[in-house]
Structure 1
């Protein structure tokens, strides 16, 4: 029995099996999900062969200190932006042994949104050491905090599967 809904648990199992077969490792860099992506992956038995590390970078300071997001990017584009997500994914690769990284930054609510960046806006990036890169801007809408966070985990796992 998993802590996560079956669609997420099933996706995580498939990723762990696929990546283990390739001897690939994953690093996560998470803001709005607070470690849930790493949690979904490590919920799978045998995940220690695949999950290298996870960075929970909830504050801008953590994004800069732990994974090297540039202060200029945060100042110009904000924490919830394509540019920040891409730098988070790059930093997670640089500071790990992983072959693939996935990064998420968004507004899970219930507050904190604006007209330009509403609750439910999430930027996700996944990067592979071979140079492949994915970015998705998701506008989940106001599904509630839990709904936005779980939807983000599901999208992140889809991106990992796509790069696998």
Structure 2
């Protein structure tokens, strides 16, 4: 199926939310010490130069912290690796992005759950694992949209905007 190749344990270079908050708090304390103690002992000309340098450093630190926070917020929005595998399955089966196709996967709910279970538990291919109820979960999380075709209870499934955003974040975050 090829989905296993896309999913692997990731370690992000982006700091955790707690680390970002800690560094920001430490910078605030350091800023108070620098501005209140050190600058009192400098001449007027030296104070201006020191203040300008301090402002420049503060701007760079703020931009760095903002970038780290923005990335961490996006990473925290990602669903579990199992759900990412299911989203890749829907993307593959719906032929998303290929011209001439409706971008929808026409299937049955039981067939969806069987394929999703196979994708999730692909590394246990030799074992017989009963299909799990993934359809209801990914539909409730608004990661897919489904419409009834009414031919033998078949449904048409495609990735929702939210599901596409989660896959995009997952793909972009590889370098974070």
- For the aligned pair, the TM-score class normalised by the smaller chain equals under 0.3
**Structure showing greater relative contact order (alpha-carbon pairs closer than 8 Å, 6 or more residues apart):** 2
Rg larger in 1 or in 2? 2
In the superposition, the TM-score normalised over structure 1's length comes to 0.27
In the superposition, the TM-score normalised over structure 2's length comes to 0.25
**Greater per-residue strand proportion:** 1
